[in-house]
Amino acid sequence: MTALSLSHSYAYCQQLAKQTAGNFYYSFLALRKEQFRAMCVLYAYMRNVDDLGDDPQRSFEERLASLREWRSELQQALANGKQFSDEFYHPCFPALLDIVQRYEIPEHYFFDVITGVESDLQPVSYQTFDELAEYCYRVAGVVGLCCIHIWGFHDDRAFDAGIECGLAFQMTNILRDLTEDVDQGRVYLPLDDLEQFNYSRSDIQAQIYDERFKDLMQFEVQRTREFYQNSERLIDYISPAGQGILRAMYRIYGGILNEIERMDFDVYSSRAGLPRWRKLLIAGEAIVSSRWFSVRSAR
């Protein structure tokens, strides 16, 4: 493999984000140029790790080996610092190292994500919500923590709020994707919760939609909504540059949670989501809000 320049690495990450991040890519445009590029790098890293662990065409052993190789290559890249050479195995690493140093992002966040994805390789179940929350921290909370380093923050309370924000977003994904996940042997809802409402893993597999299920989902949606409410204080702790994109993400993910409730929790029949036009509108409003603030600040 030939040496990869920093500019080419950034270009790769931006292109991947543009192709696969959907409307979030346009939300990134609300940020300053350097932050926009950094968010594309962060997305590219997370997307690659997720794809390594979620490739249905590969066996458990193959996916585990790929994630272990990725972990090893990340360790080597971080140890080498900015000595870019043909030792780099993936095009996102030079840009990743650049944003880690530029924004002082703790390196262990990127290893935590790998650990979280590794835990998804085999059938998943969690006994308690605390166990589920630990998983959500690894695959979503650390993403929020990376984001606040890129956006900038002025209060250490942003860390706890960022973790809760990631928990709210990931719980929304879990409730929306219940059917897809169980098909892959994954039931994220805590067994304690299932037992509380006399609902079982086999009931999820059979897609039994009844009062027990609606009560269970109502309980989970209400708990998730509390995480949204508790984490909204994060907006006050981050720089104005990040507030627009965070508000947009709250509206998109919160909108999905509202849609689940509007569907009377019947996530078995259809996938909850916002129409593309609405997500584009939210992203556009975030960009306009950011540009307005920039003009005001320049005066």
CATH number at residue 165: 1.10.600.10
234 falls within a domain: yes
Pair (55, 140) in one structural domain: no
95 falls within a domain: yes
117 falls within a domain: no
Pair (56, 132) in one structural domain: no
Pair (128, 2) in one structural domain: no
Last residue of a domain, one of 83, 107, 131: 107
Domain containing 71: what range? 1-107
What average pLDDT does the segment 244-272 reach?
93
Pair (158, 37) in one structural domain: no
Pair (135, 270) in one structural domain: yes
Pair (154, 285) in one structural domain: yes
Residue 293 has pLDDT above 80, yes or no: no
Report whether 102 contacts 38 (CB < 8 A): yes
The pLDDT, as a whole number, for residue 289 is: 63
State pTM to two decimals.
Answer: 0.89
Nearest to 120 by CA among 217, 54, 65, 203: 54
pLDDT classification of 298: cutoffs 50, 70, 90: very low
Nearest to 120 by CA among 139, 100, 93: 139
Pair (163, 77) in one structural domain: no
The pLDDT, as a whole number, for residue 282 is: 75
The pLDDT, as a whole number, for residue 150 is: 97
Neighbours of 106 (CB within 10 A): 13
Nearest 5°: phi and psi at 267? -75, -5
* Tens digit of each residue's pLDDT (9 = 90 or more) over 123-166: 788 999 999 999 999 999 999 999 999 999 999 999 999 999 99
Report whether 38 contacts 99 (CB < 8 A): yes
113 falls within a domain: no
Report whether 152 contacts 242 (CB < 8 A): yes
Pair (262, 160) in one structural domain: yes
Beta bridge partners of 238: 153
Residue 198 has pLDDT above 90, yes or no: yes
Residue 99 has pLDDT above 70, yes or no: yes
| Average per-residue pLDDT for the chain | 89
SS3 186: strand
Pair (170, 146) in one structural domain: yes
Pair (185, 100) in one structural domain: no
Residue where the block lists tokens 């719980």 = 171
83 falls within a domain: yes
Report whether 20 contacts 277 (CB < 8 A): no
Nearest 5°: phi and psi at 155? -150, 130
Among the listed ranges 28-42, 130-144, 195-209, 283-297, which one has the minimum average pLDDT value? 283-297
116 falls within a domain: no
Q: How many domains would you assign to the chain?
A: 2
44 falls within a domain: yes
* Tens digit of each residue's pLDDT (9 = 90 or more) over 42-51: 999 999 999 9
Pair (189, 284) in one structural domain: yes
Q: How far apart are CA 107 and CA 88, in angstroms?
A: 17
Pair (154, 95) in one structural domain: no
Residue 75 has pLDDT above 70, yes or no: yes
